[in-house]
Amino acid sequence: MKQRDIAPDVLRGFALLGILVVNIQFMALSSDQGARGEWTQGFANGSATFAIAAIFAGKFYLIFSFLFGYSSNYIIRDERSNRARWIKRCFLLMILGALHFTFLWHGDIIFVYGLFGLLLTFFFFRSDKTLKIWSYVVFSISAFLIMIVGLSAYLAENYLEQDFQAASESNLDEILRNGSYLESVPARLELWIYGISTGIFLQGGLAFAAFLLGIRMARSRFLSSPIDENQNSSTIKKGLILGAPIQIASAIVLLRNEQSVDPSESIYLLALSASFVAAPLLSMSYIGLIRRLVEDKPHLVSWMKSAGKMSLTVYISQSIITSLIFSPWGIGLFQELQTWQVLILAFGIWGLLVYLAIKWLERFKQGPLEQLVNVLTKKSRFQICRLNLQNDSTFRHLLFQLKQRSKLFFRLLLEPLLSFSCGEFLD
C-alpha cells in the first residue's frame, strides 16, 4: 500500500496555528477590529501586535488555501467521475460553514472554501499552462484592486480631507461581555454578513489563486519526497529577501499608527493592503522551510501531522474552546486579557489540540468531522465496483463480447417470428 505523504499534513497542522493566532484577537479583544487602538499600547501588546501583523496575518490562510487546492487532487485523481463527489463535498463544507458562523465564529472560512471549491470544478482537467495563467490573472487583479483601495483611502484622507473613521463597536462585543448565547446568534450573523464582503475582497482572490497553484503543484507531487533542494532553497530565499522586508515595514507602520494619539484609518488600510499583497512571498518561504524540515529532520515537525490529518475537526474545535473561554456563557474572559496574553493563549490552545489529535488518531483512522464528510460524500460500493470494472480492459472486452452475443441471440430468436408474421426476414 502506498504510504501517505506527511508534508501536506504537517503543513496543514502548522497553518492551523497561524489561523488561530490571527483569529483569536477577534475572539478575545474586539469582534470586528481585533488588536487595534488600546490593545496595541505598551511594549508587550505592541510586540504581540507586531508579531501577528508581520509573521501571521495574511500568510497562513494562503498556506491553507494552497493545501485545499493541493488536496483536491487526492479526491479527483484525474477521473471526471470524481467531480460529483467533489461537488457534494463543497456543498457539505458550505453547510458546515454556515453552522459554524451562525453558532460559533463569525470569521469562518469553511463556507467560502466550499463556495470557491465549486469554481475549482471548472479547472480540474485544464492544462498546467491554463492554471498558471489563471492563477496569475486572479492574483494580479486582486492585488491591484486591494492596493487601489488602500491608496485611494490614503489620498482621499490626506488630499481631499475625507475623514475615515474606524467602525464603531459591534453589537456582538456588548453581548460577549454580558449577553446570552441566543442573543449572540443574530449579532454574529450580522457581523458575518459585513465581514464576508470585505473578507472576500481582501482574501478571496488571493485564496483562489492559491487554490489553482495547489492543483498545479499536486500534479508534479511538489510536497512529495525527494524534493529539489536547489529549487526549495531558492523559494525560501526569495520569499524571505523580498517578502520579509515588506511585512516588517508594513507591521511597523501599522503599529506606530495604532499607537499614535490620532491614528489614521487610511494608513491602517494602506499598511494592511501592502501586507496582504506581499503575503504570498512569505507563505511560500514557510512552505519551503517545512518541506526542508520534513525531508531532512522529520522528527522536528512530524508531530504536527495528526492535527493536519483532522484539520476540519481541529479548526472547529478552536472555535469551541475559544467560545467557552471568552464568552459569558463560558469563563467570560472577553476583553479581560491583554494582546500578549491572548497570543500566548493561542499557542497553548493549538498545542493542546495537536496533542488531542495525536491521541485520537492512535485509536481512530480519522477525525470525527472528517469521518462525517467522507461518509456523506463517498461513492457507494456499487459505484466503486462498477467504476473499477469499467476501468478494467479485460472486463470491457468481455462486456463487448457479451453485448455482441446478446444481439446475435435475440436476432436468431426474433427473426423466425418476424418472418412468419411479416413474410420476410430481417436484413
* pLDDT interval class at 77 (50, 70, 90): confident
* pLDDT interval class at 413 (50, 70, 90): very low
Grid look-up 532553497 returns 233
Which grid cell sits at 173? 462585543
Most confident range (mean pLDDT) of 250-254, 406-410, 421-425 is: 250-254
Grid look-up 531558492 returns 234
Tell me, letter by letter, the H, E, C secondary structure of the chain: CCCCCCHHHHHHHHHHHHHHHHHHHHHHCCCCCCCCHHHHCCHHHHHHHHHHHHHHCCCHHHHHHHHHHHHHHHHHCCCHHHHHHHHHHHHHHHHHHHHHHHHCCCCCCHHHHHHHHHHHCCCCCCCHHHHHHHHHHHHHHHHHHHHHHHHHHHHHHHHCCCCCCCCCCCHHHHHHHHCCHHHHHHHHHHHHHHHHHHHHHHHHHHHHHHHHHHHHHHHCCCCCCCCCHHHHHHHHHHHHHHHHHHHHHHHHHHHHHHHCCCCCHHHHHHHHHHHHHHHHHHHHHHHHHHHHHHHHCHHHCHHHHHHHHCHHHHHHHHHHHHHHHHCCCCCCCCCCCCHHHHHHHHHHHHHHHHHHHHHHHHHCCCCHHHHHHHHHHCCCHHHHHHHHHHCCHHHHHHHHHHHHHHHHHHHHHHHHHHHHHHCCCCC
Q: What is the pLDDT of residues 240-286, one digit of tens each?
A: 999 999 999 999 999 999 999 989 998 999 999 999 999 999 999 99
Domain ranges of the chain: 7-382, 392-422
Q: What is the pLDDT of residues 89-98, one digit of tens each?
A: 999 999 999 9
The answer, yes or no, to whether residue 357 has pLDDT greater than 80, is: yes
Dist CA 110 CA 107 (whole Å): 9
Supply the pLDDT for residue 194: 84
Q: 0.75 cut: is pTM over it?
A: yes
In terms of residues, how long is the chain?
A: 427
Q: Provide, rounded to the nearest whole percent, the portion of the chain with pLDDT above 90.
A: 74
* Nearest one of 413, 327, 251, 287 to 31, comparing CA atoms: 327
Q: What is the pLDDT of residues 161-209, one digit of tens each?
A: 666 665 668 899 999 999 999 999 999 999 998 888 777 877 889 999 9
